Structure 1
Amino acid sequence: MAESKENREEVLTCPICVETFRKPVMLPCQHSFCRECIGVYADKSKPGQTDEVSCSTGSEGVDQLISCPVCRTPTSLGREGVAGLPPNFHLAEIVERLSSAVKIEDDTPYCSLCEDDNQTKAVKFCTDCCFLYCKDCLATFHPMRGAVKCHRLISSLEYHSQETSQRQTGGRDEEATPQVSCASHGQPFCLYCVPCRMVICVGCVVDHPKHAMQDIPSAAENDKPAVLNKTCKLEKVLQETKESLSGVLRLHNKIQETQELHTQEVERAYCAALEALQAWKQQSLDGIKTRYSQWSVECSAILKHFQLQAQEMERMVQASKDLVASMDVKFLQVS
């Protein structure tokens, strides 16, 4: 905690007076200083001037050139002098918010499990167990494994902020839109770090030393043109894709239609060939039947003729045998 406060003090300290910023202004190199401090520094940088010279303007009609007290980057103050430097409203807001954050840290609630005579300030609050935990109790009684692995933990600062808000509003408003806040510090996002390209809260400022900051609405407005430009390009690509899709769809439909036509032609050719084959089959069968029927009739007539002849011969053979077996007188008479 002491190290965090030291880092915050360093971030909030003017490099010239080494005190908390008062009406900070920003040079083009992104370094900020108290307006009064940079004015005095600019006056001392003028050749032949003393500390009593006005700190708000440069020499009449001449653009004063100074070096940044931190990085020594040359900077032209312009004809308005220090008065023309842009105020760093973001830094001023950070100073105000960090002052409020220090007060909130002082009001951090205590652990729910520590004994009364040895209470320690909490670092986490479990929204499922509804208990505040200090660092030691969190590791001992609420390890993130097993049955409590899926429990949601928030920082004690976020818990304190929610409790304070509920007390001020008279309870929880279920229908209210939840405030988007930092998971690490529980503070609402209010700044945008330009080099890191991320939104941060006032508690995150110590992790982004000497980084250029913007308020979220300004950063969003700055990024919206690029996003809109990309959106327009994407819309053109989408339109071209839709046109290509329509062309491919038409080609696909044409292929299906052609396939259907060819299928119908094959079906018709097959049916015609099948009908012709069936007609040839029937004609061939009829011819075979006719020819073989005629041959069968003729063969039957010949067969009947030979059968009659065979029967007649059998009778004659039997009569001859009977004659030979008869009396000699009868044999001689008949033969």
Structure 2
Amino acid sequence: MATSQTEGISITTCPICLEEFKTPKYLPCLHSFCESCLNSYIISALKSESRGKSGKTEFHCPVCREVVTPPVPSVKYQEWAQQFPLNHLLVALMDQNKLKAKVKLCDPCKAIDDAPAVSWCVDCNEAMCQNCTSVHKRQKMSRDHCFKKYR
């Protein structure tokens, strides 16, 4: 018997990378994608469509194929994904799901081991173990981030 490919995919899953959203941005057609996934898609789509021609000011949604014009088309197309609004509803749903988990695991360590989370980076929307928290606080890009303790 054939199984559905959407089995196990939730509303908080990016349709491009099939992982939980990281900085979910939504298009005018209301489809949402990780900002980095959307950025990669736009770059790839415009390079393959233009074949050397410049001046494209639109792309197609990867899900419904609707033509999408970025809020400020005059900006370099490599920066279009940043212009789309953050999907605050998805961010809230992901935060709620993370808080409901009985034992929260470190998001950066998930692929490697099962390290329990001890803090939450409010700026990155990620739960972190003691080691990742320590490293995160030392990095130039994230040393000013706000952290909350897990219970």
TM-score for the superposition, normalised by structure 1? 0.24
Q: Is the 8 A contact 1:66 1:75 kept in 2?
A: yes
SS where residue 33 of structure 2 aligns?
strand
What is residue 146 of structure 1 aligned with on the other side? Answer: none
SS where residue 72 of structure 1 aligns?
coil
Measured after TM superposition, the shift of residue 18 of structure 1 is: 0.4
Structure 1 distance, partners of 2:81, 2:14, is: 16
What is residue 197 of structure 1 aligned with on the other side? Answer: none
- How do 1:266-285 and structure 2 match up within 5 A? none
- Letter in structure 2 aligned against 1:85: F
- Letter in structure 2 aligned against 1:65: E
Measured after TM superposition, the shift of residue 93 of structure 1 is: 1.4
Deviation per residue, 1:164-202 (Å, 9 max, x gap): xxxxxxxxxxxxxxxxxxxxxxxxxxxxxxxxxxxxxxx
**CA gap 1:83/1:63 in 2 versus in 1, 3 angstroms:** farther
Aligned residues: 87
Q: Supply the RMSD in Å over aligned alpha carbons.
A: 2.3
Q: Does 1:68 align with 2:67?
A: no
What is residue 42 of structure 2 aligned with on the other side? Answer: 42
**CA gap 1:29/1:48 in 2 versus in 1, 3 angstroms:** closer
Structure 1 distance, partners of 2:93, 2:56, is: 31
Gaps of 5+ in 2: 1-6, 104-151
Q: Is the 8 A contact 1:63 1:79 kept in 2?
A: no
Higher relative contact order (CA 8 A, sep 6+): 2
- Letter in structure 2 aligned against 1:79: S
Structure 1 distance, partners of 2:90, 2:11, is: 9
- Letter in structure 1 aligned against 2:22: R
Q: Is the 8 A contact 1:63 1:76 kept in 2?
A: no
Measured after TM superposition, the shift of residue 98 of structure 1 is: 1.2
SS where residue 10 of structure 2 aligns?
helix
- Letter in structure 2 aligned against 1:43: I
Measured after TM superposition, the shift of residue 17 of structure 1 is: 0.4
- Letter in structure 2 aligned against 1:35: E
Identity over the aligned pairs, expressed in percent?
A: 32
- How do 1:6-155 and structure 2 match up within 5 A? 9-47=9-47, 62=55, 64-77=57-70, 78-80=73-75, 81-103=80-102
Q: Is the 8 A contact 2:46 2:56 kept in 1?
A: no
Which has the larger helix fraction?
Answer: 1
**CA gap 1:42/1:96 in 2 versus in 1, 3 angstroms:** same
Gaps of 5+ in 1: 1-5, 50-58, 105-335
Q: Is the 8 A contact 1:38 1:82 kept in 2?
A: yes
Structure 1 distance, partners of 2:48, 2:56, is: 16
Deviation per residue, 1:199-249 (Å, 9 max, x gap): xxxxxxxxxxxxxxxxxxxxxxxxxxxxxxxxxxxxxxxxxxxxxxxxxxx
Q: Is the 8 A contact 2:25 2:86 kept in 1?
A: yes
My pick for the range that moved more, 14-23 or 69-78, is 69-78
**CA gap 1:36/1:102 in 2 versus in 1, 3 angstroms:** same
Structure 2 distance, partners of 1:48, 1:21, is: 26
Structure 2 distance, partners of 1:32, 1:20, is: 11
Measured after TM superposition, the shift of residue 102 of structure 1 is: 3.3
